[in-house]
Amino acid sequence: MTEFVAAVLVHVADVDAGLSWYQRAFPSAERRRLDAFDFEYLKIGSTHLEIVPADEKVASGAAGSVVYWQVEDFDRALADFNGLGAPLYRGPLAIEDGLWMCQVRDPWGNCIGLRGPRSGQETA
């Protein structure tokens, strides 16, 4: 059995605004549409980033699991997210193999994890 992350759901109050914001946050994301379900999502590599409405069962905000995205340049990624209005929430913290990690928060309060080497560092 092959195991990998197939989809990440992000709950927001405004799906259209969420799709637009996340597409700016992840410039390599391809916007896709499933006409049969009247559903749009972002494809990043083999992972679907699905922006869905927050509701009474799953609200937006910091709680529970956080997905960490591997970035090529930690400092640049952090600056880019800050520039989009995603302030630092936790970290930065040095971790294994010379990598760094932190969490930022999207405009709906959801945590986004960033993980990678600092500017000018090589990964081990």
Q: Which helix (H) or strand (E) holds 78?
A: helix 74-83
| Domains of the chain (ranges, CATH numbers) | 7-117 (3.10.180.10)
3-state SS assignment for residue 47: strand
Task: Give the pLDDT confidence of 26-52 residue by residue, as tens digits.
Answer: 999 999 999 999 999 999 999 999 999
Say if residue 120's pLDDT is above 80: no
Q: Which helix (H) or strand (E) holds 75?
A: helix 74-83
DSSP state of 61: S
User: For residues 49 and 22, what is the distance between their CA atoms, to the nearest angstrom?
Assistant: 9
Task: Give the pLDDT confidence of 69-85 residue by residue, as tens digits.
Answer: 999 999 999 999 999 99
User: For residues 71 and 32, what is the distance between their CA atoms, to the nearest angstrom?
Assistant: 22
Task: Give the pLDDT confidence of 85-106 residue by residue, as tens digits.
Answer: 999 999 999 999 999 999 999 9
The first and second tokens of residue 121, run together, are: 């560092």
- Rounded to the nearest angstrom, the gap between the alpha carbon of residue 61 and the centroid of all alpha carbons in its chain is 13
